[in-house]
Amino acid sequence: MKSKTLSMRLTQLLAVMALVSLGLQACAPMLVGGFVGGTMVVSDRRSSGTQLEDEAIEIKSSSRIRENLGDKVHASVSSYNRQVLVTGEVSNPRDKEYVMQIVSQVDNVKSVLNELQILPVTTYSERSKNVLLAARVKANFVDHPELSSNAFKVVAEGGTVYLMGRVTKREADLGVDVTRNTPGVQKVIKVFEILTDDELRALLPAPAKR
């Protein structure tokens, strides 16, 4: 009962965030993960410095895309451990490449996965569905006893869900399975950084001494 209540609260929170972001016509990516309302999650597998770099990458990239292309494109930028995912819609291959150049030139970007689609730009109503789909996936992670939900960053675009994070292969496989079984998910794309079990143990806090 407790986990179900937590899932419902998470979904409600994301629904509110979707409405607020859409009302402000924000260009922030439709995602759930390392940041909630701009607040960094404490139990993150990135260093605090890397978390700040990722936030800066997202803000600077979105700002520069907006300055150069305005409303011609819908490009959402998601960064995790300086690996950047760009999703959304552009009207032609030239704009898709231009967005790639803009993001690649932002400080601290390590790599860019350009998943922009050459399609008509979506409406704010359509984008709100992306937020809710990501929230459903994240809620299912919260409910799963073998997954650390904060290890995953979830991005949804038109039925396709992108999973980011620093996870072991077993966690990645479980995360993909949970996502595929979430209603509304049509396709899952992995953008993981795979850790060994030893690497994960090194990242986890040491147990408290008694």
Q: 23-40 pLDDT, tens per residue?
A: 433 444 455 554 444 444
Q: Tell me what pLDDT residue 203 has.
A: 87
Structural domain includes residue 48: yes
Residue 118: count of CB within 10 angstroms of its CB: 11
**Nearest in space to 122 (alpha carbons), one of 159, 85, 164:** 159
Q: How far apart are CA 205 and CA 182, in angstroms?
A: 31
Residues in the chain with pLDDT < 70? 1-42, 207-210
Assigned token pair, 21: 């972001």
Structural domain includes residue 156: yes
Counting other chains too, the contacts that 3-7 makes at CB distance below 8 Å and 24 or more residues apart are 3/142, 3/143, 4/143, 6/142, 7/139, 7/140, 7/142, 7/143
| Range(s) of the domain holding residue 77 | 1-205
Total number of domains constituting the chain: 1
Structural domain includes residue 210: no
**Nearest in space to 27 (alpha carbons), one of 86, 105, 109:** 86
130 Cβ contact partners less than 8 Å away, ≥ 6 residues apart? 30, 156, 157, 158
Q: How far apart are CA 113 and CA 152, in angstroms?
A: 17
Q: How far apart are CA 151 and CA 156, in angstroms?
A: 17
Q: Tell me what pLDDT residue 43 has.
A: 75
What's the pTM? 0.81
Contact 83, 193 (CB under 8 A): yes
Q: 179-205 pLDDT, tens per residue?
A: 999 999 999 999 999 999 999 999 887
**Sheet with 74-80: strands ordered across:** 74-80, 83-90, 111-118
CA-derived radius of gyration, the chain: 17
